[in-house]
Amino acid sequence: MGELVKALLPWEDPDGFLGGLPAGVETQYYAGGEPPALDAVEFYVPSYMGSSEVIEVVAAMPALKVIQTQTAGFENLLPHLRDGVTLCNARGVHDASTAELAVGLILASYRRLARAVRNQEHGEWPSSYQELDDSLADRTVLILGYGSIGEALERRLDGFECDITRVARRGREGVHPITDLPELLPRADVVVLLTPATDETRGMVDAKFLAQLKDGALLVNVARGVVVDTDALLAELATERISAAVDVTDPEPLPAGHPLWSAPNILINPHRGGASTAFAPRVARLVRAQLERYVTGVPLINVVAGPPR
């Protein structure tokens, strides 16, 4: 490591954004387009939700030691990760935003807010409805992929008078293992997906999974689109037996004319789970802390691939 660590950052004023740079760090700006000289870059933060070029550019950084994402997901970087490079994700940065959105999707679906928006657009005040809105009170919410975001979601659900079922890949005290799903799914009124996209979870929510949901269940996907088998979801939605509220889809972006757009009982949000005012201060704290750790030799946190550093 040289006297100055060269970091490639996606902010034109990194000192201002991060609230001060650690001593020993020299920065360059890159958020896409023609990159600057990259030979000496050791620490790289790709722009948030950037195009493929901000990922592929890592091949032009021979001195690269660390990639720090601004997202919890990191699967798109793995094919570009060479030996000796440490990959860190943004675990914790999106907890507040994603948990808030999950609650919002549940409430919007249960209280039929999309219908209220359509009525407002047409200036209509229905004299009465034939059915009552659903309430989150007295319901069972199953959180699948119970990690830091799941904990944040549970904190926000506290006070809604609902019951929480926690499920993770490996069971622990108070958290069911994923092998318990056949027993748990038929009891759940709401299933919130928070699993990462891995070979194990890809297509996990398939026809068999969906068939185990009770009539009237709500599926909320704030994880990754590929966790859900889109064809299987479309088949279930067509029966109007269950409903869904999703922040992510497969494919994504969802093309015009795709059958999900017109499927019954679905609310689609265009992948905005982390895009709130809560994002910037949390990612700034993480990146500054990681830079400080790197230049002082303290082990990095959130390492998801490559050697510990």
How distant, in Å, are the alpha carbons of 109, 166, 210 from that of 206? 22, 20, 6
Q: Tell me how far apart the alpha carbons of residues 35 and 40 are, in angstroms, rounded to a whole number.
A: 13
What is the longest distance spanned by two Cα atoms in the chain? 73
Count of C-beta atoms within a 10 Å radius of residue 49: 12
Phi-psi region of 185 (alpha: psi -120 to 50; beta: other; left: phi over 0): alpha
- E-state strands within 19-121: 25-29, 41-44, 66-68, 86-88
Q: Kindly list the catalytic residues.
A: 224, 252, 271
Rg (CA), the chain: 22
Structure tokens belonging to residue 233: 């979801």
* DSSP designation for 301: S
Let me know: does 34 contact 15? Beta carbons within 8 Å.
no
